[in-house]
Amino acid sequence: MQIQELEQSLVRSLLMQEGPGGSEGDILTWLEKRNREVVVRINRTPFKQLTNWAFDPATGNLAHASGKFFSIEGIRVLMDDGRPREWTQPIINQPEIGFLGILAKEIDGVLCFLLQAKIEPGNVNHVQLSPTLQATRSNYTQVHKGRKPQYLECFQNAKKEQVILDQLQSEQGARFLRKRNRNIILQIDEDVPVGEDFRWLTLGQIKALMNHDNVVNMDTRTVISGLRYHGHVSGLSLYDFNRFMELLDVGSFGRDLFVSERAISGFRTIDGILFWLSGLKARYELLVDRIPLKAVEDWQVTEDEIVRADRRFFRILGVEITIDNREVRSWCQPLVEPMQEGLCAFIIKKIAGIYHFLVQAKIECGNFDVVEMAPTVQCLTGRYKGPNAVPPPFLDYVLRASGAQIIFDTKQSEEGGRFFHEQNRNVLIEADDLFPEQVPENFMWLTLGQIKEFLRFNNYLNIQARSLIAALDYR
Amino acid sequence: MQIQELEQSLVRSLLMQEGPGGSEGDILTWLEKRNREVVVRINRTPFKQLTNWAFDPATGNLAHASGKFFSIEGIRVLMDDGRPREWTQPIINQPEIGFLGILAKEIDGVLCFLLQAKIEPGNVNHVQLSPTLQATRSNYTQVHKGRKPQYLECFQNAKKEQVILDQLQSEQGARFLRKRNRNIILQIDEDVPVGEDFRWLTLGQIKALMNHDNVVNMDTRTVISGLRYHGHVSGLSLYDFNRFMELLDVGSFGRDLFVSERAISGFRTIDGILFWLSGLKARYELLVDRIPLKAVEDWQVTEDEIVRADRRFFRILGVEITIDNREVRSWCQPLVEPMQEGLCAFIIKKIAGIYHFLVQAKIECGNFDVVEMAPTVQCLTGRYKGPNAVPPPFLDYVLRASGAQIIFDTKQSEEGGRFFHEQNRNVLIEADDLFPEQVPENFMWLTLGQIKEFLRFNNYLNIQARSLIAALDYR
């Protein structure tokens, strides 16, 4: 398939609300039905009854008997982003790159994406829409001796002609130690069997479903965030671009997104943004050393939780899980539960008529490269409620935004395979006219075209930023 | 200054052999003179007489009393690039991002670069051409209480309009643990004082001087490797491009380099190359843990060296240094001495009339991101001399290349601030017509335009590859 054809079929998919898998309502009904049909039991379990998991006597690390999957270890962090600080904390160590893979196929001239109604133990609502394949290396090398993940061969045998997108992207830098996954979308021409847990969806449908709380899982969101429409619209003259928007019946907000997607230069050039990032990465300091979980200060390991004495940030639990439609029907594992509600918000503003996203260079302890570009606001909102709390920049602005400024405002879940009932408020806010173009030195205005260019080269945008980008609806 | 102007002045600089600092001969004479004038004494010293350096009693790590600069520690490496292996070794830990900065200024319409005749203790020939500023963070925060490095303020106060290039690039992955430096070139308009150790050189001169052994130091090479001429030539029609080449009197090899620089698509697209890299990074494994130097196996710490029993790879020495024109006149430090001669070679080949560079995805223990793109051949040649040795791919081809195929073949030094008398043979070979386009899976053909695009986004090309790219002479 030619690149140009792909993009046309991709842009059509982006604007299409009906697909071979039915309407938005049909998909929601199907998800509810799967939720009812599949038996799920999640029970909290003391660590000593967590089958196959044990605390290492020497280090105190909580690990799987196989030495695979992941482990709960400690880190010592020395961080300086102008405010030097040092602490120890538990962290999830999972030094494997897993697959987050989506199969795509042109159906009636529209590119459709094969998603799975998948249950993860930590999901608030059990079933969410996952990628076609979501598998850690331990998973697909079958350490747990379960069934082989479906569609694995397609991804293992990918040919270069099939690849729509292939990126290594980071996960939560505050919880994982430099974890990354391979985000990949492959286009296939042949028919594949589609089981009752799977459906073909258009991109427009996936985005529409993101207007509902906790329907599209984190892994699906990160994979589709990397899709670029730039190539299709950037070469067009203004006349042809406008005609194309008319033909596709794109609304005014969607048109503005396409305009921003076309803009590879904006408030700053790409080289200007790289200069900004290099300066911060060189000036900030992030030293992270793995330490035994035993050596972590301020945290205690009880019979059934690993938690701070003041119960802040997060805690680690043990759970026993029984799920009917997974490769393994029953297993035990630790899960991480957040102690507070989170907020991820992008403020966008038209500068010279082009939407720019206000990006924050954020340092987080598990980051692969000191800072990653994060949403304008990314925080635990509960932390800033006390009388002496100093809220992060723009938090107040986001919390006080008027209804007309709010483009979307939903709750989205973090990965239910590691996090227990973690959902963050995802908000997109349009700045009012008085909002300043001049912002603090760790903030920068990027066009959508620039964001997509950085996405392509890996590890520039964090998972929270990617989740918000994925939710942009171009209709 | 407009981007277009910059590029014209940059391309002129690239092709110019005379500059305000004199001819090639003048520069060489000046370097020899500086070498004679400046007093340098380098004496090997037992570790216990290494002032300000000591082995930590608990870990055995060799560190500076200030806790700054760098330390010699241990790592445990688990590496799998299809051939799983595990070992421990000493490594240089220097978790700081330093400046490698060059000031540029237009003189008589030609962009010139301010280089320094600098002595480093490990240099085979003492004086080499260094960037304007070469300073670790410890250095410029003046941990050693010496003089403040010259020109530091220019780089600390850089404005976005001045930036020609700003990249974070890696250093030797087999010797440093994830070390990176900030490679930066700033253009200034105002006059700055130019001391007797400094001269303004054209880019063409710097490249001509790379035809001599050990004249242009590693830091200068890595900084200039990132310069892109693409923007200036890629927008031109073939007719305008050819006229431009005629006007600038570019030779046939130089013209071929500009053609390759124009090619952002080649044997593979950029996305195709990213797919190739993602696949290898996901499949290969690299787990590196810091361990105490004491815990390193197969290495012994004697009175005056840290060395393997079989004396392979490298050893670490202590030296006492007295140099006249440095911020500090006398100091002690450890240096790393290689045990064998090294070879770094790129094979290039015209595919569809465009030069492609045969790049190797190489895994090295100190790499920031599992693999980096390395030259076609990068190895210690001494290792493959035994009867049972299995030489790496293409080593034989490079060693047997006929004179007509060899575009350049010089010895270039590694960083004399850390390495003692380390020089590697840098070779560029043009493949013969029979050389296959199909190469092993960890090799890939890239155009020069593609290489420059990857350089821009940091940590894609290793220092050995960058050194060879820096030496390309476009005249």
What's the confidence (pLDDT) of residue A368? 82
pLDDT-derived band at A319, boundaries 50, 70, 90: very high
CA distance A86 to chain B (A): 16
Q: What is the pLDDT of residues A241-263, one digit of tens each?
A: 899 899 889 999 999 999 999 99
Confidence of residue A328 (pLDDT cuts 50, 70, 90): low
Residue A293 dihedral angles phi and psi, to the nearest 5°: -55, -35
Q: Do B456 and A272 touch (CB under 8 A)?
A: no
Q: Is B393 helix (H, G, I), strand (E, B) or coil?
A: coil
Beta strands in B405-472 (DSSP E): 406-413, 423-430, 443-447
In this prediction, residue A384 carries a pLDDT of 67
Place of tokens 């799967």: A34
- Work out the mean pLDDT of chain A and round it to a whole number: 91
Q: How many residues does chain A have?
A: 475
C-alpha closest to that of A28 among A410, A36, A131: A36
Q: What is the mean pLDDT of chain B?
A: 91
pLDDT at residue B96 greater than cutoff 50: yes
**Mutation target vs A (from B7, B154, B278; most A CBs, 10 A cutoff):** B278
Task: From chain A, pick out residues whose CB is under 8 angstroms from the CB of B278.
Answer: 166-168, 182, 184, 458
| Sign of torsion over alpha carbons B450, A272, B232, B11 | negative
pLDDT over 70 percentage in chain B = 95
Cβ count within 10 A of residue B313: 18
B78 interfaces chain A, CB cutoff of 8 Å: no
Evaluate whether A216 touches A128 at the Cβ level (below 8 Å). yes
What pLDDT digit, counting tens, does each position of B456-466 carry? 999 899 999 99
Tell whether A369 is within 8 A of chain B (Cβ): yes
Flag whether residue A95 sits within 8 Å of chain B, measured between CB atoms. Answer: yes
Confidence band, pLDDT 50/70/90 cuts, at residue B325: low
pLDDT for the residue numbered B1: 40
How close does chain A come to B456, measured CA to CA in Å? Answer: 8
Q: Touching check for B91 and chain A: CB below 8 Å?
A: no
What is the rounded CA–CA span in Å between residue B284 and residue B371? 8
| Spatial distance between the Cα atoms of B228 and B232, rounded to a whole number of angstroms | 9
CB-based contact (8 Å) between A368 and chain B? Answer: yes
Record the tokens describing residue B444, joined without a space. Answer: 């890939």
Contact B222, B180 (CB under 8 A): no
Query: Which of B96, B270, B282 is the closest to A97 by Cβ?
Result: B282
**Cβ-contact B60, B293 below 8 angstroms:** yes
Give Cα separations from A398 to A379, A403, B229 (angstroms).
12, 11, 43
pLDDT over threshold 60, residue B357: yes
Q: Which helix (H) or strand (E) holds A171?
A: none
Q: How confident is the model at residue A327 (pLDDT cuts 50, 70, 90)?
A: low
Six-digit token pair at B322? 């007295």
Q: Does B457 touch chain A (CB under 8 A)?
A: yes
Q: Which of A158, A165, A275 sits opposite B166 (nearest CB)?
A: A275
Q: Decide if A272 and B457 are in contact by the 8 Å CB cutoff.
A: no
Token pair listed for A331: 């297993």
B455 vs B223: CA distance, rounded Å: 11
Determine whether the interchain pair A166/B95 forms a contact, defined as Cβ–Cβ distance below 8 Å: no
Does any CB of chain A come closer than 8 Å to the CB of residue B168? yes
Has residue B64 got a pLDDT over 90?
Answer: yes
- Chain A contacts in chain B segment 173-212 (CB below 8 A): 182, 184
Best probe of the B interface among A278, A285, A459, by most B CBs < 10 A, is A278
Asked if the model's pLDDT at residue A282 lies above 80, the reply is yes
Tell me how far apart the alpha carbons of residues B283 and A158 are, in angstroms, rounded to a whole number.
Answer: 13
* B278:A158 CB<8 A: no
Please check the confidence at residue A95 and state whether its pLDDT lies above 90: no
Helix (H, G, I), strand (E, B) or coil at A65: coil
User: How many beta-carbon pairs below 8 A join chains A and B?
Assistant: 77
DSSP three-state, residue B314: strand
Verify whether the Cβ–Cβ distance A271 to B168 is below 8 Å: no
Contact B125, B35 (CB under 8 A): yes
> Which of A8-12, B43-47, B67-71, B139-143 bottoms out in mean pLDDT, i.e. has the lowest?
B139-143
Indicate the pairing of strand A342-351 with strand A377-380: antiparallel
Say whether pLDDT at A1 is over 50. Answer: no
Enter the DSSP assignment of B85: E
Number of neighbours of residue A248 by Cβ within 10 angstroms: 18
B263: left (phi over 0), alpha (psi -120 to 50) or beta: beta
Taking 50 as the threshold, does the pLDDT of residue A123 lie above it? yes
Is B1 part of the contact surface with chain A (CB cutoff 8 Å)?
Answer: no
State yes or no: pLDDT of A431 exceeds 50.
yes
Judged on CB neighbours under 10 Å (0-12, 13-18, 19+), B411 is: middle
Instruction: Report the residue from A182, A270, A368 with minimal CB separation from B282.
Output: A182
Helix residue ranges, H only, B252-394: 252-262, 270-283
Query: Nearest chain B Cα to A100, which residue?
Result: B282
Share above pLDDT 90 across residues of chain B, in percent, rounded to a whole number: 71
CA distance, residue A150 to nearest chain B CA (Å): 19
Report the candidate in B217, B218, B213, B215 with the shortest Cα–Cα distance to residue B411.
Answer: B213
Question: For position A18, what pLDDT does the model report?
Answer: 87
Q: So what's the pLDDT on residue A143?
A: 60
Q: DSSP label at B311?
A: -
Nearest to B182 among A282, A289, A368 (CB): A282
Q: How far is CA B425 from CA A260, A330, B410, in A?
A: 48, 59, 6
pLDDT higher than 60, residue B34: yes
Chain A positions touching B291 (Cβ under 8 A) are none
- Give dist(CA A66, CA B8) in Å, integer: 60
Contact B163 A456 (CB under 8 A): no
CB-based contact (8 Å) between A155 and chain B? Answer: no
Would an 8 Å CB–CB cutoff place A167 in contact with chain B? yes
- A159: three-class secondary structure by DSSP: coil
Whether B167 sits inside 8 A of A95 (CB atoms) is: no
Gyration radius (Cα) of chain A, Å: 22
Which helix H or strand E contains A300, and what residues bound it?
Answer: strand A299-301
Query: What are residue A336's DSSP bridge partners?
Result: A316, A419
Q: Is A144 on the interface with B (CB under 8 A)?
A: no
Longest dimension (CA), chain B: 70
Contacts of A289 in chain B (CB under 8 A): 290
A417 has a pLDDT exceeding 80? yes
Distance from CA of A76 to the nearest CA of B (A): 13
- Among B2, B97, B181, the strongest candidate for a mutation testing the A interface, having the largest count of A CBs within 10 A, is B97
- Give which of B352, B335, B353 is closest to B422, Cα–Cα: B335
**Residue B349, helix vs strand vs coil:** strand
Judge contact between B123 and B38, C-beta under 8 A: no
Whether A449 contacts A260, CB under 8 Å? yes
Kindly state the percentage of chain A with pLDDT values over 90. Answer: 71
Helices (H), B38-168: 137-140, 152-156
- Mean pLDDT for B86-95 is 94
* Set of chain A residues whose Cβ sits within 8 Å of the Cβ of B457: 274, 457
Please list every residue in chain A whose beta carbon sits closer than 8 Å to the beta carbon of residue B287.
Answer: 95
CB distance A163–B369 less than 8 Å? no
Give B188's pLDDT tier (boundaries 50, 70, 90). very high
- Per-residue pLDDT of A128-138, as tens digits, reads 999 999 988 87
Which of these, B230, B452, B244, B283, lies nearest to B357 by C-alpha position? B452
The two three-digit tokens of residue B461, written as one number:
């090309």
Residues of B in contact with A265 (CB under 8 A): none
pLDDT at site A5 = 64
Length of chain B in residues, anyone?
Answer: 475
The whole-number pLDDT of residue B382 equals: 66
Q: Beta strands B40-44 and B53-55: pairing type?
A: unpaired
